[in-house]
Structures are given as C-alpha cells and as structure tokens.
C-alpha cells in the first residue's frame, strides 16, 4: 500500500446520475430485487461482461501434504519413508491412487478432480514452492500472499498488485492507478455493464476480513456473507437511504466517496439477489464455510458484477498426527476440497472458459512420516490449476526425486518451480496482467520460466 498517490480524480457525475437513475430508482419504486436479478442474469453470453476473465484462488492454509495430494507412486522412496500414511499405487479395483501419468496419481478422495484431469482441464505443478527456507506457517503464508519471499515489510498483497496492473476487459486500456478514474471510464458508457460495475468488486475475498493477498491500494471487498452485505445486514433500506443522504455531498472526499461506493456495491450485490440463487444442473456444494464461499463466488461471477479475482480459504491441513492414508483425516479434507471445487466448476459450466481456479498452500510436508502417523513441516508442494483454457492433463515442472540426497536439507521435497512463476503465468496469460516486474518485485519474470499451465 503506497502512502503517496496523486490527487483523486473528481467524481464523474454522469456515472452517479446513471446509477441513481437506474437500479436505485427501480429499488426505490419498490420493485422486487429478483426483477433486477433476472435482468442481470439474462445478459447475453456474448456481451463484454461475459468475456471478463476471472481468477479464483483457493488457499489451503496449514500446509497440505502435497505428496499425498498428488502421489508419486512411481518413487520407491515414497514407500520406504511412509508406511501408515502411504497411498498405494493404482490398482484395478480402484482403491489406490487415481493414475495420472503412470508415475503420479491423485489421492482417491480427489476423484471429482480426476475427471477434470482426464478432460485435460486440470494441470498440476509439482515440486513448486518458495526459495525461502522458513517452516513457519505464519511467515510462509505471509510470503506467499505478498509474493515477496523473505521480505516481510511488503505492505500489499500480490493479488492487489495484479488488480493494479490489469486493464479491465471493458475499458479502453486506461490505467487503473485510480479506482475513481476507472469507474469514470465505465460511466462514460463504453460498455453495457456500467451500471453493475464497481471497482471494489474486481477483487472479492470470501470471509470476514481481507486476506493479505488482496490488501493494498486497489479497492477490494471482503464479503463474509453475500446475503447480509449492506446497511443493517442489507435489511434496513430506510437506514441505508438515510445514510445516503447524510453522506451525499457535492464535494466528495475520501470518506464520502468510499461510502457512496459502498451504497452502490450493496445495491449491486442485492440485485444479484443472493437469497434466490439456484446452482446450475442441480450441483450441490459441500456443507460448511468452504462450500458456501464457493457457492457465493459462483453467484457473483454469474451475476456479471465484474469480479476478476475471487479468493477463498480452506483450512485443516496441518496433519502432524494421524493424517490417515486412503481414508482418515486428510482424506476427509480432500473430499471437501474436491467436491467443493467440482461443484463450483460444474455450476459455472461454460463460463469456465473464462475462469481459472488455482490452489496454493504455504509449504509442503516432510517426505518421511513422523512417529505419530502424521507429517511435519516441509518445503516444496504442488498446485492445481483448472479451467477450460488450461493446458491440462499434464504434470508440469521438474521432479527432483525423493532419494535422500535429492531432498531439501535431507528431508523435504526440493523446490524446482518458484511459486511466483506459476502466479505470474496465470496472471499474465489468463488475466493479461502487465508490468509483472511490479507485481513480483525482486523476482525476474521470464516466459521461459513459465511451466506452460496455460499453453504458450
């Protein structure tokens, strides 16, 4: 977050007038929100809004055991170092790992994702991680979210910097240094979605607080619950109206501008009508926070409110003890993860051609299991990248091997791909992010280092 910006652009009155005269007027007339919902959802798929690219990041907090997520069953050392926790090689009755390429296999609880791999819509990067040696969850998450390993003082998150260096698909390439200027571009009527656009909706995190990765200068929203976003939990229209009059001034300053934006965002989200949402094709999300987060992300994307980055967390990966093997603690987490992602994938349907889902976790776990049936903090891990444009059905990256002399500090999977090179590839090839040197300060970005997650 820089503390030095240029002066804010004056607010664009025509935009305000348009918004006020549009959806607000309808609400003021007492028309039911689902009227708006239908009109929003009814936008033709060929509109510019539908072509907007979206990246969904899923952070597996707590350091998932990547060696049991994408199992190197072709490695003898995997079975000599692991016994109680080892996933057997694929067998015909389907009890072992789900074969990917004859060497790697998915954990059996990831079956819903195995089908995506078969459709070549899931790519995996293995032995990916950070050059920093830390085994502290706190430090490693911080480094992954700032994308500046070893530098703790980075104030903003990498996804926020992505927002600041990605031209909105609907503008004529105008710089995004200033959110108000960006809004003004939309108000100038370049697209049909001006009334439903809000700069803060470009980056949305599901949860009560803004994750480190999305914090920074670019506006973004943390949404604990889509159904309760607004004044009085979105249920006190009179109070919102009163506050709109209290905040409404001609001048406009930091506080009143943000408030005006908030009223608008609340209106837009209300119009997306979270209460009436039905997922497509009878898709069912798993119960719990993770499933709900993903369902609300699908809702936002399908409402065409301009989401370019969505972020969700899933925890419970710190399996020091009794992590289980084909079944057990970790299998249960994989079950929730894969059912959730697959539900999101199927719910978004054709829209997955414009969406990429990417998983990440702060570091991997030890190759050897410990004395309590679990694994301890390790080094490299793996990431899954999914979507219609993903060059899937492949395991990417160099496999460093699991023999003792091949391990990091004699115990952990070595890093052969810097996680920032995967982030950078996805940002530049999917979101068309520019100025990658600003998004990943201190790291040399070169397409030659990209692993080909999204083709070349």
Partner 1 sequence: MAPHSNRWILGAATALSLGVAALPVSAQTPADSARALHLLSRASWGPRPSDIGAVLTMGANTWLDRQLNPENLADRDVEARLKLLPTVSLSMSELYRDYSPRPADVQAARKAQAMGDSGMAKMQDAMTPAERRERAARSPQRLHAELVTAKLQRSVFSERQLEDVMTDFWFNHFNVFFNKGQDRYLVSDYERSAIRPNVFGKFENLLIATAQHPAMLFYLDNWQSVYVDTAARALQNTGPLAARLRARGLNENYARELLELHTLGVDGGYTQADVIEVARALTGWTYEPPRAQQQGQAPQRPAGNRARAGRGMQEVRGKGDVPFVFRAQLHDRDEKTVLGQKLAANRGIEDGMDVMKIVARHPSTARFIATKLVERFVSDKPPADLVDHLADVFQKTNGDLREVTRALFTSDEFYSSEYRHAKVKTPYELVVSAARATGAEVSQSRRSIDLLRTMGHLPYAEPTPAGFPAMSEDWVNSGAMLNRMNFGLDLAGGRVDGVRIDASLMPRGETSTDVLLTAVLPGIDTKRLSQRISEDLAAQSGLTQRARLQRALGLALGSPEFQRR
As measured in angstroms, the least distance from the Cβ of 409 to partner 1 is 6
Q: CA-CA distance, 159 to 154, in Å (whole number)?
A: 13
- The 3-state DSSP class for residue 404 equals helix
Which one of the spans 205-213, 337-345, 352-360, 387-395 is the region binding partner 1 (CB under 8 A)?
205-213
Torsion of CA 221, 226, 228, 234, to 10 degrees: 80
Residue 25 CB contacts under 8 Å (≥ 6 apart), including other chains: none
- The answer to whether 105 and 73 are in contact (CB under 8 A) is yes
Backbone angles phi, psi at 334, to 5 degrees: -60, -35
Token pair recorded at residue 245:
């009059």
By CB under 8 A, is residue 414 in contact with partner 1? no
Binding of partner 1 at residue 324 (CB under 8 A)?
A: yes
Residue 242 engages partner 1 in binding (rule: CB under 8 A): yes
Q: Is 320 in the site for partner 1 (CB under 8 A)?
A: yes
Q: In this chain, which of 17, 28, 258, 275 binds partner 1, going by CB under 8 A?
A: 258
Region of 84-92, 235-243, 271-279, 376-384 interacting with partner 1 (CB under 8 A): 235-243
Choose which of 409, 438, 442, 444 interacts with partner 1 (CB under 8 A): 409
Please state the closest distance from residue 324 (CB atom) to partner 1, in A. Answer: 6
Distance CA 267, CA 237 (A): 10
Measured from the Cβ of residue 434, the count of other Cβ atoms closer than 10 Å reads 16
H/E run at residue 125: strand 122-129
246 binds partner 1 (CB under 8 A): yes
DSSP 235: T
Q: For partner 1, give the closer residue by CB, 221 or 445.
A: 221
> Does 265 participate in binding partner 1 (rule CB under 8 A)?
yes
Question: DSSP assignment of 152-165, as one string?
Answer: TT--S-HHHHHHHT
Residues 90-119 that bind partner 1 (CB under 8 A): none
Closest by CA to 147, choosing from 454, 433, 455, is 433
By CB under 8 A, is residue 175 in contact with partner 1? no
Q: How far is the CB of 275 from partner 1 (least distance, A)?
A: 18
- The residues that touch partner 1, with contacts defined as CB under 8 A, are 1, 3, 5, 136, 138, 142, 152-153, 155, 198, 200, 208-210, 212, 215, 219-224, 229-233, 236, 238-239, 241-243, 245-247, 254-256, 258-259, 261-262, 265-266, 316, 320-324, 328-329, 332, 372, 374, 409
């Amino acid at each position: 977050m820089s503390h030095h910006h240029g002066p804010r652009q004056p607010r664009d009155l025509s935009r305000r007038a348009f918004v006020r005269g549009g959806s607000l007027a309808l609400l003021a007339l007492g028309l039911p929100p689902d009227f708006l919902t239908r009109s929003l959802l009814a936008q033709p798929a060929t509109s510019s809004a539908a072509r907007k690219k979206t990246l969904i990041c899923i952070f597996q907090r707590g350091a998932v055991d990547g060696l049991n997520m994408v199992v190197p069953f072709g490695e003898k050392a995997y079975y000599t170092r692991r016994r109680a926790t080892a996933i057997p090689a694929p067998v015909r009755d389907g009890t072992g790992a789900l074969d990917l390429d004859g060497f790697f296999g998915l954990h059996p609880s990831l079956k819903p994702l195995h089908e995506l791999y078969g459709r070549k819509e899931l790519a995996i990067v293995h032995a990916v991680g950070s050059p920093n040696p830390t085994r502290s969850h706190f430090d490693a998450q911080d480094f992954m979210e700032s994308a500046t390993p070893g530098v703790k003082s980075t104030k903003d998150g990498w996804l926020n910097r992505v927002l600041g260096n990605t031209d909105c698909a609907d503008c004529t390439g105008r710089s995004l240094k200033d959110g108000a200027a960006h809004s003004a571009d939309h108000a100038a009527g370049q697209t049909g979605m001006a009334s439903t656009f809000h700069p803060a909706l470009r980056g949305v995190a599901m949860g009560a607080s803004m994750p480190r990765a999305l914090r920074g200068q670019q506006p973004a929203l943390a949404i604990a619950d889509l159904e309760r976003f607004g004044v009085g939990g979105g249920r006190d229209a009179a109070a919102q109206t009163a506050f709109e009059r209290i905040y409404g001034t001609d001048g406009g300053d930091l506080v009143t501008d943000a408030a005006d934006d908030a009223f608008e965002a609340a209106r837009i989200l209300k119009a997306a009508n979270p209460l009436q949402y039905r997922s497509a094709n009878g898709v069912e999300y798993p119960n719990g926070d993770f499933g709900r987060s993903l369902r609300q992300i699908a809702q936002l994307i399908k409402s065409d409110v301009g989401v370019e980055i969505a972020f969700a967390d899933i925890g419970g990966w710190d399996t020091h003890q009794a992590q289980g093997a084909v079944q057990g603690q970790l299998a249960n987490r994989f079950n929730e993860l894969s059912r959730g992602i697959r539900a999101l994938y199927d719910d978004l349907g054709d829209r997955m051609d414009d969406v990429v889902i990417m998983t990440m976790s702060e570091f991997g776990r030890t190759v050897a299991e410990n004395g309590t049936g679990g694994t301890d903090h390790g080094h490299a891990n793996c990431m899954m990248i999914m979507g219609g444009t993903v060059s899937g059905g492949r395991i990417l990256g160099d496999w460093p091997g699991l023999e003792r002399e091949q391990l990091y500090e004699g115990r952990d999977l070595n890093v052969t791909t810097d996680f920032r090179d995967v982030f950078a590839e996805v940002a530049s090839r999917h979101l068309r992010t520019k100025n990658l040197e600003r998004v990943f300060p201190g790291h040399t970005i070169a397409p030659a280092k990209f692993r080909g997650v999204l083709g070349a």
